[in-house]
Amino acid sequence: MKYMLLMQFSAAGTDFPSIDTWTPAEIQAHIGFMGEVNAKLTADGEWVQGEGLAGPQQARIVRAGEGGAPVVTEGPFAETKEFLAGWWIVDCETPERAVEIAAHISTAPGPGGRPLNMPIEVHPVMSAPPQEM
């Protein structure tokens, strides 16, 4: 079964500063950890896909306007308290394994090497609608 793991950043409830204030060594350790996670998932045959995302100041919200024309709202979004920082798609034997991977990703190092303990959402990926539909 495939699962999408979503790394959320929330300014509320965190005790660490935003990544743009970290030292280069702290950023390198964080990115190195993510590389190690991805390499292990690949070696274990569980890696499907994943990426880190730019911050909300580079995001755009798009809605269909009149006649389907895009209506774009540009950042930064002052009201944004949470944003999606990155994602993985993994292919695991059990939901428990997806949760285990998510818990490990949550320990990514931050300032001073302390684990960030960022929330990681775990979503099963639907491959097709249920047969009864």
Per-residue pLDDT of the chain (133 residues; tens, 9 = 90+): 999 999 987 666 677 777 888 999 999 999 999 999 999 999 999 999 999 888 777 888 888 999 999 999 876 555 556 778 899 999 999 999 999 999 999 999 999 999 999 889 999 998 877 666 5
Give the CATH H-level superfamily of domain 2-124: Dimeric alpha+beta barrel (3.30.70.1060)
Write the CA distances from 19 to 37, 78, 80, 122, integer angstroms.
Answer: 19, 17, 16, 23
Q: CB neighbours of 10 closer than 8 A, spacing ≥ 6?
A: 81, 82, 119
> pLDDT value at position 13?
64
- Side chain identity, residue 4: M
Euclidean distance between CA atoms 46 and 57, whole angstroms: 32
What is residue 85's predicted lDDT score, i.e. its pLDDT?
87
* C-beta separation of 105 from 88 below 8 A: yes
Q: For residue 36, what pLDDT is reported?
A: 97
How much is the pLDDT for 56? 76
Residue 55: per-residue pLDDT? 78
**Separation of alpha carbons 32 and 63, rounded Å:** 36
Among all chains, which residue has been given the structure tokens 């809605």?
Answer: 63
Q: What is the pLDDT of residue 81?
A: 64
